[in-house]
Amino acid sequence: MAVSGFEGFEKRLELHFSGDDPIIRMGGLRQLDFESIEEILNAVQCTVVSAVGNQYFDSYVLSESSLFVYSTKIIIKTCGTTQLLKSILPLIQFTSELGFIMSECRYTRGNFIFPKAQPYPHTNFNDEIFYLQEQLPIHLCYRKASVMPSKFISHSWHVFTACNEEPNNDLITIEVCMTELDRVLARKFIKHPNMASNEMTEVTGISEINPNALICDFVFDPCGYSMNGIDGDRYSTIHVTPEDGFSYASYECVGSIYDDPNDIINILKKVVQVFRPGTMSISTTSTSNEVWTRIAKAVEPLGMKCRSCTMDDFPSTGSVVFQTFTSCRK
Protein backbone atom coordinates (compact mmCIF):
# COMPACT_ATOMS: atom_id res chain seq x y z
CA MET A 1 0.00 0.00 0.00
CA ALA A 2 1.33 3.39 -0.95
CA VAL A 3 2.12 5.72 1.95
CA SER A 4 0.09 8.43 0.27
CA GLY A 5 -1.71 8.96 -3.01
CA PHE A 6 -4.77 10.42 -4.59
CA GLU A 7 -7.97 9.93 -2.58
CA GLY A 8 -10.46 8.24 -4.88
CA PHE A 9 -13.36 7.91 -2.45
CA GLU A 10 -15.84 10.71 -3.07
CA LYS A 11 -17.95 12.85 -0.82
CA ARG A 12 -21.46 13.32 -2.21
CA LEU A 13 -23.90 16.14 -1.41
CA GLU A 14 -27.47 16.24 -2.74
CA LEU A 15 -29.58 19.33 -2.02
CA HIS A 16 -33.25 19.82 -2.91
CA PHE A 17 -34.99 23.19 -3.09
CA SER A 18 -38.53 24.51 -3.34
CA GLY A 19 -39.64 27.68 -5.08
CA ASP A 20 -42.58 29.35 -6.80
CA ASP A 21 -43.80 27.59 -9.91
CA PRO A 22 -42.97 30.49 -12.29
CA ILE A 23 -39.33 30.35 -11.13
CA ILE A 24 -39.18 26.61 -11.73
CA ARG A 25 -40.74 26.94 -15.19
CA MET A 26 -38.03 29.47 -16.09
CA GLY A 27 -35.39 26.81 -15.44
CA GLY A 28 -35.21 26.92 -11.67
CA LEU A 29 -31.72 26.35 -10.32
CA ARG A 30 -30.42 26.08 -13.88
CA GLN A 31 -30.63 29.88 -13.94
CA LEU A 32 -27.45 29.96 -11.83
CA ASP A 33 -24.87 31.64 -14.04
CA PHE A 34 -21.47 30.07 -14.63
CA GLU A 35 -19.72 32.70 -12.50
CA SER A 36 -21.84 31.66 -9.51
CA ILE A 37 -21.11 27.99 -10.16
CA GLU A 38 -17.40 28.78 -10.32
CA GLU A 39 -17.59 30.64 -7.01
CA ILE A 40 -19.34 27.66 -5.38
CA LEU A 41 -16.70 25.29 -6.73
CA ASN A 42 -13.87 27.62 -5.66
CA ALA A 43 -15.06 27.14 -2.08
CA VAL A 44 -14.81 23.38 -2.62
CA GLN A 45 -11.42 23.77 -4.39
CA CYS A 46 -12.23 22.25 -7.77
CA THR A 47 -13.08 23.45 -11.28
CA VAL A 48 -15.19 22.55 -14.33
CA VAL A 49 -13.28 20.67 -17.05
CA SER A 50 -16.19 19.69 -19.34
CA ALA A 51 -19.94 20.28 -19.53
CA VAL A 52 -23.07 19.23 -21.42
CA GLY A 53 -26.80 19.58 -20.82
CA ASN A 54 -30.22 18.65 -22.15
CA GLN A 55 -33.81 19.74 -21.50
CA TYR A 56 -33.81 18.17 -18.03
CA PHE A 57 -30.50 19.08 -16.36
CA ASP A 58 -26.96 20.37 -16.76
CA SER A 59 -23.98 18.06 -16.26
CA TYR A 60 -20.46 19.19 -15.35
CA VAL A 61 -17.34 17.01 -15.18
CA LEU A 62 -15.09 18.52 -12.52
CA SER A 63 -11.36 18.40 -11.88
CA GLU A 64 -12.46 16.24 -8.95
CA SER A 65 -15.62 14.35 -10.01
CA SER A 66 -19.08 15.74 -10.94
CA LEU A 67 -21.84 18.33 -10.60
CA PHE A 68 -25.45 17.96 -11.75
CA VAL A 69 -27.92 20.85 -11.73
CA TYR A 70 -31.65 20.17 -12.12
CA SER A 71 -34.44 22.73 -11.80
CA THR A 72 -35.00 21.93 -8.09
CA LYS A 73 -31.95 19.89 -6.99
CA ILE A 74 -28.17 19.97 -7.13
CA ILE A 75 -25.81 17.01 -6.74
CA ILE A 76 -22.09 17.61 -6.15
CA LYS A 77 -19.66 14.72 -5.87
CA THR A 78 -15.98 15.41 -5.24
CA CYS A 79 -12.88 13.35 -4.45
CA GLY A 80 -9.30 14.08 -3.40
CA THR A 81 -8.93 16.60 -0.58
CA THR A 82 -11.78 18.85 -1.69
CA GLN A 83 -13.86 20.54 1.00
CA LEU A 84 -17.28 19.66 -0.37
CA LEU A 85 -19.38 20.88 2.56
CA LYS A 86 -18.02 24.40 2.11
CA SER A 87 -20.32 24.62 -0.93
CA ILE A 88 -23.41 24.82 1.28
CA LEU A 89 -23.23 28.48 2.32
CA PRO A 90 -22.62 29.92 -1.18
CA LEU A 91 -25.31 27.57 -2.53
CA ILE A 92 -27.82 28.87 0.01
CA GLN A 93 -26.86 32.45 -0.86
CA PHE A 94 -27.16 32.07 -4.65
CA THR A 95 -30.32 29.94 -4.59
CA SER A 96 -32.08 32.31 -2.18
CA GLU A 97 -31.38 35.15 -4.63
CA LEU A 98 -33.30 33.10 -7.20
CA GLY A 99 -36.21 32.68 -4.77
CA PHE A 100 -35.49 29.13 -3.57
CA ILE A 101 -35.53 27.60 -0.09
CA MET A 102 -33.65 24.40 0.75
CA SER A 103 -36.01 21.51 1.52
CA GLU A 104 -33.73 18.49 1.79
CA CYS A 105 -30.05 17.60 2.27
CA ARG A 106 -28.35 14.26 1.82
CA TYR A 107 -24.63 13.67 2.44
CA THR A 108 -22.94 10.30 1.84
CA ARG A 109 -19.43 8.91 1.60
CA GLY A 110 -17.41 5.75 2.09
CA ASN A 111 -14.21 5.30 4.10
CA PHE A 112 -11.29 7.41 2.97
CA ILE A 113 -8.14 5.55 1.92
CA PHE A 114 -6.03 8.43 3.30
CA PRO A 115 -8.17 9.92 6.11
CA LYS A 116 -5.31 11.86 7.70
CA ALA A 117 -4.89 13.87 4.48
CA GLN A 118 -8.43 15.28 4.65
CA PRO A 119 -8.83 18.93 5.72
CA TYR A 120 -11.57 20.22 8.01
CA PRO A 121 -14.52 19.69 7.99
CA HIS A 122 -13.79 16.26 6.51
CA THR A 123 -11.32 15.25 9.22
CA ASN A 124 -13.86 12.75 10.60
CA PHE A 125 -17.59 12.08 10.40
CA ASN A 126 -18.34 13.80 13.72
CA ASP A 127 -16.75 17.00 12.39
CA GLU A 128 -18.77 16.67 9.19
CA ILE A 129 -22.02 16.24 11.13
CA PHE A 130 -21.24 19.25 13.34
CA TYR A 131 -20.45 21.37 10.30
CA LEU A 132 -23.64 20.29 8.53
CA GLN A 133 -25.76 21.00 11.61
CA GLU A 134 -24.31 24.50 11.80
CA GLN A 135 -24.65 25.35 8.10
CA LEU A 136 -28.10 23.99 7.27
CA PRO A 137 -31.27 26.08 7.76
CA ILE A 138 -33.07 25.35 11.03
CA HIS A 139 -36.32 24.49 9.24
CA LEU A 140 -34.69 21.24 8.10
CA CYS A 141 -35.69 19.77 11.44
CA TYR A 142 -35.86 16.03 10.66
CA ARG A 143 -32.22 15.01 10.82
CA LYS A 144 -30.37 11.71 11.10
CA ALA A 145 -26.74 10.61 10.89
CA SER A 146 -25.50 7.04 10.77
CA VAL A 147 -22.38 5.03 10.01
CA MET A 148 -23.44 1.77 8.37
CA PRO A 149 -20.83 -0.93 9.06
CA SER A 150 -19.64 -3.93 7.11
CA LYS A 151 -17.37 -6.87 7.87
CA PHE A 152 -14.43 -4.79 6.65
CA ILE A 153 -12.91 -2.03 8.75
CA SER A 154 -11.97 -0.28 5.51
CA HIS A 155 -15.54 -0.23 4.19
CA SER A 156 -18.41 1.55 5.95
CA TRP A 157 -21.04 3.96 4.68
CA HIS A 158 -21.58 7.40 6.22
CA VAL A 159 -25.02 8.96 5.79
CA PHE A 160 -26.49 12.26 6.97
CA THR A 161 -29.95 13.46 5.94
CA ALA A 162 -32.07 16.48 6.83
CA CYS A 163 -35.48 17.59 5.59
CA ASN A 164 -38.47 19.69 6.60
CA GLU A 165 -41.16 17.16 5.69
CA GLU A 166 -41.52 13.61 4.46
CA PRO A 167 -40.84 13.88 0.73
CA ASN A 168 -42.53 11.65 -1.83
CA ASN A 169 -39.39 10.00 -3.17
CA ASP A 170 -39.76 7.60 -6.11
CA LEU A 171 -36.09 7.66 -7.16
CA ILE A 172 -33.47 4.95 -6.70
CA THR A 173 -29.87 6.06 -6.23
CA ILE A 174 -27.08 3.50 -6.66
CA GLU A 175 -23.58 4.36 -5.43
CA VAL A 176 -20.83 1.82 -6.16
CA CYS A 177 -17.31 2.07 -4.72
CA MET A 178 -14.64 -0.33 -6.02
CA THR A 179 -11.06 -0.87 -4.83
CA GLU A 180 -8.21 -3.21 -5.85
CA LEU A 181 -9.15 -3.01 -9.52
CA ASP A 182 -7.96 -5.72 -11.88
CA ARG A 183 -4.46 -4.51 -12.83
CA VAL A 184 -4.77 -5.28 -16.54
CA LEU A 185 -8.11 -3.46 -16.78
CA ALA A 186 -6.87 -0.56 -14.65
CA ARG A 187 -3.96 0.04 -17.06
CA LYS A 188 -6.50 0.95 -19.74
CA PHE A 189 -7.07 4.18 -17.76
CA ILE A 190 -3.47 5.33 -18.20
CA LYS A 191 -3.33 8.01 -20.88
CA HIS A 192 -1.34 7.34 -24.04
CA PRO A 193 0.10 10.18 -26.15
CA ASN A 194 -2.60 11.95 -28.19
CA MET A 195 -5.31 9.74 -26.66
CA ALA A 196 -8.77 11.33 -26.76
CA SER A 197 -11.23 10.84 -23.92
CA ASN A 198 -13.83 9.18 -26.16
CA GLU A 199 -11.19 6.63 -27.22
CA MET A 200 -10.66 5.63 -23.57
CA THR A 201 -14.45 5.41 -23.12
CA GLU A 202 -14.59 2.92 -26.03
CA VAL A 203 -11.47 0.88 -25.21
CA THR A 204 -12.44 0.30 -21.58
CA GLY A 205 -16.01 -0.79 -22.36
CA ILE A 206 -17.61 2.13 -20.53
CA SER A 207 -19.52 3.14 -23.67
CA GLU A 208 -21.41 -0.18 -23.49
CA ILE A 209 -22.62 0.19 -19.89
CA ASN A 210 -25.55 2.33 -21.08
CA PRO A 211 -25.42 2.66 -24.89
CA ASN A 212 -28.35 5.13 -24.78
CA ALA A 213 -26.46 7.68 -22.70
CA LEU A 214 -24.85 10.82 -24.08
CA ILE A 215 -21.36 10.68 -22.54
CA CYS A 216 -19.30 13.69 -21.49
CA ASP A 217 -15.83 12.33 -20.64
CA PHE A 218 -12.40 13.56 -19.61
CA VAL A 219 -8.98 11.88 -19.40
CA PHE A 220 -6.46 13.16 -16.87
CA ASP A 221 -2.71 13.35 -17.41
CA PRO A 222 -0.89 11.01 -16.75
CA CYS A 223 -3.79 8.81 -15.67
CA GLY A 224 -7.35 8.89 -14.38
CA TYR A 225 -10.73 9.18 -16.01
CA SER A 226 -14.12 10.79 -15.39
CA MET A 227 -17.39 10.67 -17.25
CA ASN A 228 -20.97 11.85 -16.86
CA GLY A 229 -23.74 10.11 -18.76
CA ILE A 230 -27.06 11.73 -19.70
CA ASP A 231 -30.07 9.57 -20.58
CA GLY A 232 -33.24 11.70 -20.57
CA ASP A 233 -33.69 12.95 -17.02
CA ARG A 234 -31.31 10.30 -15.62
CA TYR A 235 -27.61 10.77 -14.96
CA SER A 236 -24.76 8.32 -14.42
CA THR A 237 -21.15 9.01 -13.53
CA ILE A 238 -17.84 7.12 -13.35
CA HIS A 239 -14.52 8.17 -11.81
CA VAL A 240 -11.33 6.13 -11.93
CA THR A 241 -8.02 6.33 -10.08
CA PRO A 242 -6.02 3.44 -11.60
CA GLU A 243 -2.69 3.56 -9.73
CA ASP A 244 -1.44 0.33 -8.13
CA GLY A 245 -1.68 0.35 -4.35
CA PHE A 246 -4.69 2.67 -4.14
CA SER A 247 -6.70 1.90 -7.27
CA TYR A 248 -10.32 2.98 -7.06
CA ALA A 249 -13.34 3.40 -9.29
CA SER A 250 -16.86 4.60 -8.59
CA TYR A 251 -20.09 4.26 -10.48
CA GLU A 252 -23.32 6.07 -9.68
CA CYS A 253 -26.68 6.15 -11.40
CA VAL A 254 -30.27 7.07 -10.66
CA GLY A 255 -33.48 5.29 -11.61
CA SER A 256 -37.11 5.09 -10.56
CA ILE A 257 -39.06 2.58 -8.49
CA TYR A 258 -41.37 2.30 -11.52
CA ASP A 259 -38.56 1.11 -13.82
CA ASP A 260 -37.94 -2.52 -14.64
CA PRO A 261 -35.45 -3.44 -11.86
CA ASN A 262 -33.53 -5.59 -14.33
CA ASP A 263 -32.38 -2.40 -16.09
CA ILE A 264 -30.17 -1.32 -13.18
CA ILE A 265 -29.14 -4.91 -12.43
CA ASN A 266 -27.87 -5.41 -15.98
CA ILE A 267 -25.94 -2.14 -15.77
CA LEU A 268 -24.27 -3.23 -12.51
CA LYS A 269 -23.16 -6.48 -14.18
CA LYS A 270 -21.43 -4.47 -16.92
CA VAL A 271 -19.76 -2.21 -14.33
CA VAL A 272 -18.27 -5.23 -12.53
CA GLN A 273 -16.97 -6.59 -15.84
CA VAL A 274 -15.30 -3.27 -16.75
CA PHE A 275 -13.33 -3.05 -13.48
CA ARG A 276 -13.32 -6.53 -11.83
CA PRO A 277 -12.59 -5.09 -8.36
CA GLY A 278 -11.14 -7.01 -5.44
CA THR A 279 -13.56 -5.29 -3.06
CA MET A 280 -16.80 -3.51 -3.86
CA SER A 281 -19.57 -1.79 -1.92
CA ILE A 282 -23.01 -0.90 -3.26
CA SER A 283 -25.30 1.58 -1.53
CA THR A 284 -28.92 1.54 -2.69
CA THR A 285 -31.20 4.39 -1.60
CA SER A 286 -34.89 3.80 -2.31
CA THR A 287 -38.38 3.34 -0.93
CA SER A 288 -38.59 -0.01 -2.75
CA ASN A 289 -36.91 -3.39 -2.24
CA GLU A 290 -37.04 -4.35 -5.90
CA VAL A 291 -33.43 -3.57 -6.78
CA TRP A 292 -31.21 -4.25 -3.78
CA THR A 293 -32.62 -7.74 -3.16
CA ARG A 294 -31.44 -8.77 -6.64
CA ILE A 295 -27.94 -7.30 -6.58
CA ALA A 296 -26.12 -10.22 -4.93
CA LYS A 297 -27.62 -12.81 -7.28
CA ALA A 298 -26.66 -10.62 -10.22
CA VAL A 299 -22.97 -10.08 -9.39
CA GLU A 300 -22.08 -13.36 -7.63
CA PRO A 301 -21.98 -15.28 -10.96
CA LEU A 302 -19.33 -12.73 -12.01
CA GLY A 303 -17.04 -13.82 -9.18
CA MET A 304 -18.15 -11.39 -6.43
CA LYS A 305 -19.19 -12.85 -3.06
CA CYS A 306 -21.57 -10.88 -0.83
CA ARG A 307 -19.92 -10.48 2.59
CA SER A 308 -22.31 -8.18 4.45
CA CYS A 309 -25.59 -6.31 4.14
CA THR A 310 -26.79 -3.47 6.39
CA MET A 311 -30.04 -1.50 6.20
CA ASP A 312 -31.17 1.74 7.84
CA ASP A 313 -34.12 4.09 7.36
CA PHE A 314 -33.78 7.85 6.91
CA PRO A 315 -36.60 10.41 7.11
CA SER A 316 -35.78 12.13 3.83
CA THR A 317 -34.82 9.23 1.57
CA GLY A 318 -36.46 5.96 2.62
CA SER A 319 -34.16 2.98 3.13
CA VAL A 320 -30.43 2.86 2.53
CA VAL A 321 -29.05 -0.65 1.98
CA PHE A 322 -25.26 -1.08 2.13
CA GLN A 323 -23.81 -4.28 0.68
CA THR A 324 -20.15 -5.29 0.44
CA PHE A 325 -18.57 -7.84 -1.88
CA THR A 326 -15.13 -9.37 -2.41
CA SER A 327 -13.76 -11.11 -5.45
CA CYS A 328 -13.44 -14.88 -5.27
CA ARG A 329 -9.92 -14.40 -6.69
CA LYS A 330 -8.83 -12.80 -3.39
Residue 39, Cβ density class (10 Å: 0-12 exposed, 13-18 middle, ≥19 buried): middle
Rounded-to-10 torsion of CA 312, 316, 318, 320: -40
- Give strand ranges (E) for 189-303: 214-219, 225-231, 234-241, 248-256, 279-286
Hey, is 181 helix, strand or coil? coil
Residue 243 assigned ligand-binding role: yes
Residue 220 assigned ligand-binding role: yes
Is 239 catalytic? The answer is: yes
Q: Which helix (H) or strand (E) holds 186?
A: helix 183-186
Residue 308, Cβ density class (10 Å: 0-12 exposed, 13-18 middle, ≥19 buried): middle
Name the catalytic one among 226, 250, 281, 286: 226
Name the catalytic one among 16, 46, 59, 79: 79
Residue 14 assigned ligand-binding role: no
Name the catalytic one among 65, 146, 236, 283: 65
> 122-158 b/e with 16+ CB inside 10 Å = b?
beebeebbebbeebbeeebeebebbebebeeeebbbb
DSSP string for residues in 225-243: EEEEEEETTEEEEEEEE--
* d(C-alpha 257, C-alpha 279), whole Å: 27
In this structure, the strands spanning 171-179 and 248-256 are antiparallel
Please name which of 313, 314, 23 lies closest in space to residue 163, comparing C-alpha atoms.
314
Name the catalytic one among 16, 122, 155, 239: 239
Is 65 catalytic? The answer is: yes
* d(C-alpha 142, C-alpha 311), whole Å: 19
Is 226 catalytic? The answer is: yes
Catalytic residue list? 65, 79, 226, 239
Q: List, as residue ranges, the binding site.
A: 6, 64, 220, 243
Q: List, as residue ranges, the binding site for substrate.
A: 6, 64, 220, 243
